[in-house]
Chain A
Amino acid sequence: MDDFRSTEIIFGPQHPGIHGNFAMRLELEGDMVRRARLVPGYLHRAFEKLMERRTWHQNIALVPRICVPDPDVNEAAYSMAIENIMGLEVPRRGNYIRSIVLELSRLAAHLMGLGGLGGAIGLYTLPMWTNGERDYVLDLFEALTGGRVYHMYTWPGGVRWDMPENWPRKALKVMDHIEAQLPSYYSLFFESKVTDARLKGLAPITTSWAVEHGVTGPNLRATGLEVDLRRDDPYAAYEELDFDVITLKQGDGMARALVRWYEVGQSIRIIRDAIEKMPGGPVIAKTPPPLAFMVPPGDHYAHVESSKGEYGYYVISKGGKYPYRVHVRGPSFTHGIDVLEKMLVNQELADVALITGGLDVCPPDIDR
């Protein structure tokens, strides 16, 4: 009889509850997950190997594809690693614009993540709203960088172009608009009885467990640890900008969602502050033209705080036109494989999509 007690089901990649192109094999006893195994590999495109065959600048067109909802962290971390090896100093204005772009990217990613969480609960109003507001952010990206999803805007030495004249005004207007919408998201999602029932006490983790398993970013801050690379190891212009590090103590699904909701507000605050303090001057340091761009031998690990967690690029140069080796440290790799496999144990099947969405896992980053 024991043989028939458990069922194995394959959850994804063609499943409305899965967050992208990866699958899980779940061993169920009744409705409870007893063992979960992740099946990644559907999006493996060998980015790290591809980068070895392309010039330093050609890689800028490649790296944003590693994380689709939050692409700018890739460009920024990669560029920062190169700048550090070369000893380039980014002009102040370039750093401020970088910060704005990174925060806009975080804003868009959080809005999309919150929407996905609403979808996992069955509250389809929230994704409609958040994706509607996200579209205004994409419009801003389009006016600033020329691309809606993949911007290819951050460049070793600064950013590619200066802001258009009317862009700060538009950005402030979009920020006002999104800020005005935030209370209605709160009352729709967080004050709903359904959200209470589904998210409160869902897969709680403690700080020590989270640190042990390499959890970073909003998921770690939801357990009460005050960690934020923007404050602890400032890059771009974050040292001069005002913002709070959001922490919550509970460490459950509700806390993870709430941290994201609060961080949208903080991103708006940072963007406003950066536009206000925006210095003049050039946006890009003097660098050799892209085809004659050489990086001296050396290596550096540059990391940034993305909407999912710590995002890092370890770049090794042996001199010349091409990188010798680039390694990407993506937060979704730890969140999506090790942490998720352990968190899903003894949870109900109906909560699987919710836990995955709550961790904000980004499958292209798992496979790379």
Chain B
Amino acid sequence: MSPGHRQVIMMTDFVKKTIRPFRALRFLARKPHTIISPHEQHNDIEGEPLPTERYRGIHINDWETCISCGLCARICPCDAIEMVDVEGEQKKRPEVSYGRCCFCGFCEDVCPRDSMHLTSNYVMIDKNSETFTFLPENDLKEFQKEYIVETSQLRYNDKDVKKAEKEPSAKKGGKGKKKK
């Protein structure tokens, strides 16, 4: 190999290695992986909504089938479940403390009557920390439904909201002018 030939190879290698990383620029045209939660739905690769049914989130417990055996409290690796007395009920019911729960779903597996279930709902927002220790019932708790944020309440990336924001500010400007 002549020195000139070697130089040519080195030069092409140099040009390749300098230019190739710029191919990444084509990714600018792609949509980002991140989503604006809770505006946008998180989808998997086939466009199906997530979380799926198997997702382990907040518990529900069917009080009619629950026989108050306490197996869920015994299997719980985090001691998050406690059997407590409930007013107006003869049986004890499981109470879940979400400060401890690790969402393993063993309570669901071990339940002999299939009454305890983990829903795919994972939204838990409340100002009061005591809310997160509660008795799972047939339906989700009110505070979980209350705090699901509606689209119009958040401002970013929502054209309608931006328009709505602009309108009152224009009115205010008008008032200011009048005063002057």
Bound state CA distance, A177 and B21, in angstroms? 20
Contact B46 A170 (CB under 8 A): yes
A residues near B125, Cβ cutoff 8 Å: none
* Also in contact, A291 and B24, with CB within 8 A (given A146-B55, A174-B45, A192-B17): no
Task: Give the Cβ gap from A13 to chain B, nearest Cβ, in Å.
Answer: 24
* Most chain B C-beta atoms within 10 Å of own C-beta, residue among A129, A142, A164: A142
Contact code string A165-197 (vs B, CB < 8 Å = 1, else 0):
000011001100100000010011001110010
With a CB–CB cut-off of 8 A, which chain B residues contact A55?
75
Q: Which residue of B lies closest to A58 (CB)?
A: B77
Task: Tell me if B18 counts as interface (CB < 8 A to partner A).
Answer: yes
B20 touches A187 (CB 8 A): yes
Interface assignment of B91: CB less than 8 Å from any CB of chain A: no
Task: Given A61-B102, A62-B77, check contact A161 B24 (CB 8 Å).
Answer: no
Inter-subunit contact A57/B44 (CB<8 Å): no
Is B50 engaged at the interface, CB distance under 8 Å to the other chain?
A: yes
**B106–A58 contact, CB under 8 A?**
yes
Query: What 1/0 mask marks residues of chain A from 259 to 276 whose CB sits below 8 Å from any chain B CB?
Result: 000000000000000000
Contact residues of B between 117 and 153, Cβ < 8 Å to A: 118
Please tell me if the beta carbons of A125 and B24 are within 8 angstroms of each other in the complex: yes
List A22-66 residues whose CB lies under 8 Å from chain B. Answer: 54-55, 57-62
Partner of A132, one of B17, B21, B33: B33
Query: What's the Cα separation between A161 and B108 when bound, in Å?
Result: 13
B86 contacts the other chain (Cβ, under 8 Å)? Answer: no
Q: Which residues of A contact B54 (CB under 8 A)?
A: 142-146, 161, 164
Q: What is the minimal beta-carbon distance from A54 to any residue of chain B, in angstroms?
A: 6
Contact partner of B109 (CB less than 8 A), chosen from A173, A184, A290, is: A290
Q: Which of B33, B44, B103 contacts A147 (CB 8 A)?
A: B103
B44 to chain A, nearest CB (A): 4
What CA separation (Å) do A145 and B18 show in the bound complex?
Answer: 43
The number of chain B residues with a CB under 8 A from chain A is: 32
Q: Is the CB of B110 closer than 8 A to any CB of chain A?
A: yes
A152 within 8 A of B: yes
A49 CA to B146 CA, complexed, in Å: 42
CB nearest to A139 among chain B residues? B44
Distance, CA A187 to CA B75, complexed state (A): 50
Q: Which residue of B lies closest to A131 (CB)?
A: B33
Closest to A160 in B: B109
Least Cβ–Cβ distance between B159 and chain A, in angstroms: 26
Q: A136 at interface (Cβ–Cβ under 8 A)?
A: yes
Total cross-chain contacts (CB, 8 A): 91
Q: How far is the CA of A52 from the CA of B17 in the complex (A)?
A: 55
Nearest B-chain residue to A177, judged by Cβ? B45
Whether B45 and A170, one on each chain, are in contact in the complex, defined by CB atoms closer than 8 angstroms, is: yes
Known pairs A146-B54, A152-B104; A136 contacts B17 (CB<8 A): no
Would A192 and B21 count as touching, CB distance under 8 A?
yes
- The listed residue (B50, B71, B78, B106) touching A142 by CB distance below 8 A is B50
Interface presence of A280 (CB below 8 A): no
User: Nearest Cβ distance between residue B62 and chain A, in whole angstroms?
Assistant: 20
Pairwise interchain contact A173-B46, C-beta atoms closer than 8 A? yes
Instruction: Name the residue of chain A whose CB is nearest to the CB of B32.
Output: A132
Do A61 and B106 touch across chains, with their CB atoms under 8 A apart? yes
Closest to A50 in B: B77
Bound Cα distance from A57 to B76, whole angstroms:
10
B44–A136 contact, CB under 8 A? yes
B74 within 8 A of A: yes
Bound-state Cα–Cα, A131 to B106, Å:
30
From A61, A132, A196, name the one whose CB has the most chain B CB atoms within 10 angstroms. A61
Nearest-neighbour CB distance to chain B for A286, whole angstroms, equals 15
Within 8 A of B (CB), among A132-155: 132, 135-136, 139-140, 142-147, 150, 152
**B16 at the binding interface (Cβ < 8 Å):** yes
The answer for the CA separation of A177 and B45 in the assembled complex, in Å, is 9
Contacts of B110 in A (CB 8 A): 289-291
Cα distance A291–B110 in the bound complex, in angstroms: 8
Contacting residues, chain A, for B39 (C-beta < 8 A): none
Q: Contacts of B77 on A, CB cut-off 8 Å?
A: 54, 58-59, 61-62
Q: Closest A-chain residue to B18, C-beta based?
A: A193
Contact of B23 among A161, A187, A193 (CB under 8 A): A187
Q: List 26 A-B contacts (CB under 8 A).
A: A55-B75, A59-B77, A60-B104, A61-B102, A62-B77, A129-B27, A131-B33, A139-B44, A139-B45, A140-B44, A144-B54, A145-B54, A146-B54, A147-B56, A150-B104, A169-B46, A170-B46, A173-B46, A177-B45, A184-B23, A188-B21, A191-B17, A192-B21, A289-B110, A290-B110, A291-B71
Going nearest first, the 5 A-B pairs with the smallest beta carbon separation are A132-B33, A58-B77, A146-B54, A61-B104, A61-B77
20 additional contacts (CB under 8 A) given A147-B56, A169-B46, A290-B110: A57-B106, A58-B106, A59-B77, A60-B104, A142-B50, A142-B51, A143-B44, A143-B54, A146-B54, A146-B55, A146-B56, A146-B105, A164-B52, A170-B46, A187-B21, A188-B23, A191-B16, A192-B17, A291-B74, A291-B75
